[in-house]
Amino acid sequence: MVKKNACVFISGAGTNLKALLKSSREYNFPININYIISNTKQAKGLKLAKLYKIPFRVLDLNKTANLEFFFKELQKKKISLICLAGYMRILNKNFINRFNKKIINIHPSLLPKYKGLDTFRKVLKNNEKLTGCTVHYVNNRLDSGKIILKKKIFIESSDNEKTLKTKVQAKEYRAYSESIISIFR
């Protein structure tokens, strides 16, 4: 299989990045991860870039000079997919139009419910019985692009933000890889 080249954007722990790196090692997974971007050097996920020997950059993409550099790199590396994995910045319309290829994101709720931050707290506060995660295309409105895949979990009365996060993230790791397979099928 000829794999597509992908770039993953992170800001934090990078557990979704880890799951994607593992999937990408499988011969029939449709992408390789060739580039990792973080907006902060504090992102723990950058350790994975080093471990897996994937080129990475800490870049503030709000700066025009960085943006020019970044788009040149994307061309050189023939990147045809950007995966946001816990990336805490919003990509603006110009960025999305300029890339002109697929950009996808994973979000810890069943969209369109609970866009934005603090999903676990909001879900518990509203006594929801179900929550989960959603993989979607990125457009210029927050967590609003076309949905690719959702996975559900049931909320138990004993759940708190921490247990929910663990349960939802376990679903995320599979959801993200399955979505990428479905995109390139």
Q: What's the full length of the chain, in residues?
A: 185
Closest distance of CB 86 from ligand GRF, Å: 3
The yes or no reply on residue 153 touching ligand GRF (CB under 6 A) is no
**Strands, E, within the chain: which ranges?**
4-10, 31-38, 56-58, 79-84, 102-107, 130-137, 147-154
Closest distance of CB 11 from ligand GRF, Å: 7
Burial class (CB in 10 A: 0-12, 13-18, 19+), 138: buried
Stretch of 10-18, 33-41, 62-70, 150-158 contacting ligand GRF, by CB under 6 A? 10-18
The yes or no reply on residue 21 touching ligand GRF (CB under 6 A) is no
Taking the C-alpha atoms of residue 19 and residue 23, their distance in angstroms, rounded to an integer, is 6
User: Residue 36 — φ and ψ, nearest 5°?
Assistant: -130, 130
Closest distance of CB 64 from ligand GRF, Å: 26
Is 136 catalytic? The answer is no
Stretch of 14-22, 46-54, 57-65, 147-155 contacting ligand GRF, by CB under 6 A? 14-22
**Contact pick of 69, 169, 178, 184 for ligand GRF (by CB under 6 A):** 169
Taking the C-alpha atoms of residue 116 and residue 103, their distance in angstroms, rounded to an integer, is 17
Amino acid at position 111, single letter: L
Of these residues, 4, 107, 151, 171, which one is catalytic?
107
Catalytic residue IDs: 107
Q: Contact residues for ligand GRF (CB under 6 A)?
A: 10, 12-17, 45, 85-86, 106-108, 133, 169, 172
